[in-house]
Amino acid sequence: MEPLVIDGSFGEGGGQILRTTLALSALLGRPVRIVNIRAKRPRPGLQRQHLTSVKAVAEIAGARVEGLRLGSTEITFWPGRLQSGRFRFDIGTAGSITLVLQAVLPILVYAPGRVELEVRGGTDVPWSPPIDYVRFVLSRLLERMGYVFRVTLRRRGHYPRGGGIVIVEVPQPPKRLEAVRLSNAGDIKAFEGLSHAVRLPRHVAERQARAAQELITARYPGLPVDIELEWYEPGRDPHLGPGSGIVVWAHTGNSILGGDSIGAKGKPAEKVGREAAEKLLEDLSAGKALDRHASDMLIPYAALACGESILGGAKLTMHAWTNVELVKRILPEARLEFIEGGEIGKPFTLRVEGVCYQA
């Protein structure tokens, strides 16, 4: 079979195209050639994090890859048979662990047996969802589709040192996904969160949490806001370098939505906390069931699921639009249609008729 050619320069023009394409190729058994990889980024081609994503999918999918090298702008991926067991991948930098997981989590649904995955790199780094978002928001949304996995955070990794360690366990791969109705959020019930500071004073985590809580309470007085603190005593802190961040999430009648922010040198802790709360509150104001992150991440899962899914997103990001177009190209049997919205930056509702893929 001739490889399907995917142009990595269209849409968001970054790593999202690579990750979604590889996951679908691995499952469908269809070889792909991805060209112009990350063409719209300042440093095009495969960087460490993307290289690790390809290696991870290839190893789990028993695939052969041509052109796999740092900086490569073109690869050809020949999928094989899915594997189960234990796997270990090290990005070698502070590259995002969660973006590697974006590539591999869809294929672990259909693994032939139990899978344990260890990934080392960055857990809380710019331009990617923090690991706490995956732990407390994404995993709970995927449970609605019958996909249960455990994420254990062994050590955080911040830019530039990295060194984070995350364990993902899929005890019983479901081998199929159920459709979901996630259109409107419903009534807001409560807020939770986790504010962390490593190799930094405790007050950094406290100030992040306080700033987020104050903003949320001002908008939704009377609703519970419980933000946990994560901090380590000097001498007992296992992390390689300093860093901080916060993820807050809202439990609603129909869903769970999250907002996040990470610290940076010279960035006040109060600003970090407010940023996370502002993102969450902005997405909640749209009344949709999915925040700006989940509304793009769930699209490939819905396309593979059994039945019709309805995905209501607070904001149509370029990542989400790109995923819609990629699925149409790689999996034309799935039907995707905007039944509301469709403009970048605006709320939307997407109908997805899944193909009921089963291993």
Instruction: Tell me the three-class secondary structure of 325-338, residue by residue.
Output: HHHHHHCCCCEEEE
How far is C-alpha 70 from the geometric centre of its chain's CA atoms?
23
| b/e sequence 20-48, b meaning 16+ C-beta within 10 Å | bbbbbbbbbebbbbbebbbbeeeebbbbb
- The DSSP element (H or E) to which 17 belongs, if any, is helix 15-28
Cα 281 from Cα 352, distance rounded (Å): 27
Instruction: From the candidates 196, 251, 293, 319, give the one annotated as an active-site residue.
Output: 319
Closest CA to 243 of 120, 126, 348: 126
The answer to whether 50 is a known catalytic residue is no
Q: How crowded is the C-beta side of 90, counted as CA atoms within 13 Å? A: 3
Q: Which helix (H) or strand (E) holds 155?
A: strand 150-155
State CA 146 to chain mean position distance: 17
- Type of residue at 103: A
At residue 295, φ and ψ (nearest 5 deg) are -70, -20
83 is in an annotated binding site: no
Residue numbers in the known binding site for ATP are 102
Enzyme catalytic residues: 319
Residue numbers in the known binding site are 102
